């Protein structure tokens, strides 16, 4: 997920996070690889991600590479589906100074409340920002990088970002909430961009 180019009110609130939820220390980290991000309408973005059976070194390396890719893009969220790794792993950091990296493995939404409307962008749909309606607050259960379960309550932008990235794990891209006409226009615009940059 990316920030919209124009300001949007996401009913931004607070989040209750577990201690050091990501398990990644960005100030003392090994070299990470930047991963290629799939572009909409690539069919692989519609692959439903499978659950992670064991949080091992391979999964931790994937999460670290995803985080580095997200920061470099730059973005505020990335799902494994977007880098053609179809496992239930997402990374998020909505902080202004990029100091609150959150990794969610096998995330599931336990509760939803309220409604919030705002513009969303996506690293797989570059340059496109559209209004989407989401739950304003969510409570989520997931595994951390040690394979331990935790829960968090999130509101505003963090809640939106969690829902956006979890959609990717189900094979859904945010533009698919829009009308077929808008989706067609977006595909045409992205195809034109691809021709220009080719």
Give pLDDT tens digits for 36-70: 999 999 999 999 999 999 999 999 999 999 999 99
Which pTM value belongs to this model?
A: 0.85
* Whether the predicted pLDDT of 18 surpasses 50: no
| Structure-token pair, residue 193 | 């961009």
What percent of the chain is modeled with pLDDT above 90?
Answer: 79
Q: 14 near 136, Cβ under 8 Å?
A: no
| Bridge pairing between strands 102-113 and 89-92 | antiparallel
Instruction: Provide the pLDDT for residue 32.
Output: 62
Q: Check if 165 is active-site.
A: yes
Q: Which residue among the candidates 68, 120, 155, 165 is catalytic per the annotation?
A: 165
132-138 long-range Cβ contacts below 8 angstroms, 24+ apart: 132/164, 132/174, 132/177, 133/177, 134/159, 134/160, 134/163, 134/164, 135/159, 135/163, 136/11, 136/13, 137/13, 137/112, 137/113, 138/109, 138/110, 138/111, 138/112, 138/113, 138/162, 138/163
């Amino acid at each position: 997920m990316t920030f919209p180019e124009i300001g949007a009110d996401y009913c931004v609130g607070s989040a209750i996070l577990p201690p050091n939820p990501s398990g990644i220390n960005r100030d003392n980290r090994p070299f990470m690889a930047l991963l290629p991000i799939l572009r909409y309408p690539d069919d692989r973005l519609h692959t439903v991600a499978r659950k992670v059976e064991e949080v091992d070194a391979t999964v931790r390396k994937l999460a670290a590479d995803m985080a580095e890719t997200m920061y470099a893009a730059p973005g505020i969220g990335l799902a494994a589906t977007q880098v053609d790794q179809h496992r239930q792993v997402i990374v998020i950091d909505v902080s202004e100074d990029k100091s609150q990296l959150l990794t969610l493995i096998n995330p599931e939404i336990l509760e939803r409340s309220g409604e919030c409307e705002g513009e969303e962008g996506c690293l797989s749909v570059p340059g496109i920002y559209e209004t989407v309606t989401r739950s304003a607050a969510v409570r989520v259960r997931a595994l951390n990088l040690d394979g331990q379960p935790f829960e968090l309550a999130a509101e505003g932008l963090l809640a939106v970002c969690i829902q956006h990235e979890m959609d990717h794990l189900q094979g859904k891209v945010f533009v698919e909430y829009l009308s077929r006409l808008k989706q067609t226009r977006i595909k045409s615009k992205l195809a034109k961009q691809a021709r220009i940059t080719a």
